[in-house]
Chain A
Amino acid sequence: MPEKTIGTGSNDIPVIQLKHVDKHFGSLHVLKDISLSVKKGEVVVIIGPSGSGKSTLCRTINRLETIDSGEILIEGVKMPQEGKELARLRAQIGMVFQSFNLFAHKTIIDNVILGPMDVLHKSRKEAKEEAMQLLKRVGVDSQAEKVPAQLSGGQQQRVAIARSLAMHPKAILFDEPTSALDPEMIGEVLDVMTELAREGMTMLVVTHEMNFARRVASRVIFMDGGSIIEENTPDEFFSHPKSQRAQDFLNSIKDH
Chain B
Amino acid sequence: MTLLGIAQIAIFFVLVVAITKPAGVFMYRVFEGERTFLHPVFRPLERLIYWLGGVREEEEQSWVRYSASMISLSIFSFIFVYLLQRLQGHLPLNPMHFSTPQAPSNATAMTPDLAFNTAVSFTTNTNWQSYSPDTTMSYLTQMAALAVQNFVSAAVGIAVAVALIRGFARHTAKTIGNFWVDVTRCTLYVLLPICILATLFFVAQGSIQNFKGPATVTTLEGASQVIEQGPLASQLAIKMLGTNGGGYFNANSAHPYENPTPLANLLQMLLIFVLGAGLTYMFGKMVRDTRQGWAIFAAMSLMFLAGAFICYWAEQRGNPMLTNMGLEHVYTAGQPGGNMEGKEVRFGNPMTALFATVTTDASCGAVIGMHDSFTPIGGLVPLFNIQTDEVIFGGVGAGLYSMLIYAVVAVFIGGLMVGRTPEYVGKKIEQKEVKMAIIAILATSVVILGFTAISSVAPFAKGGYWNSPGPAAANTNNGAAHGFSEMLYAYSSGAGNNGSAFAGINANTPWYNLTIGLDMLVGRFLFIIPALAIAGSLASKKLVPVTSGTLPTNGSLFVVLLIGTVIIVGALTYFPALSLGPIVEHFQMLNGKLF
Asked whether A and B interact, the reply is no
Q: Using a CB–CB distance below 8 Å, which chain B residues touch chain A? A: none
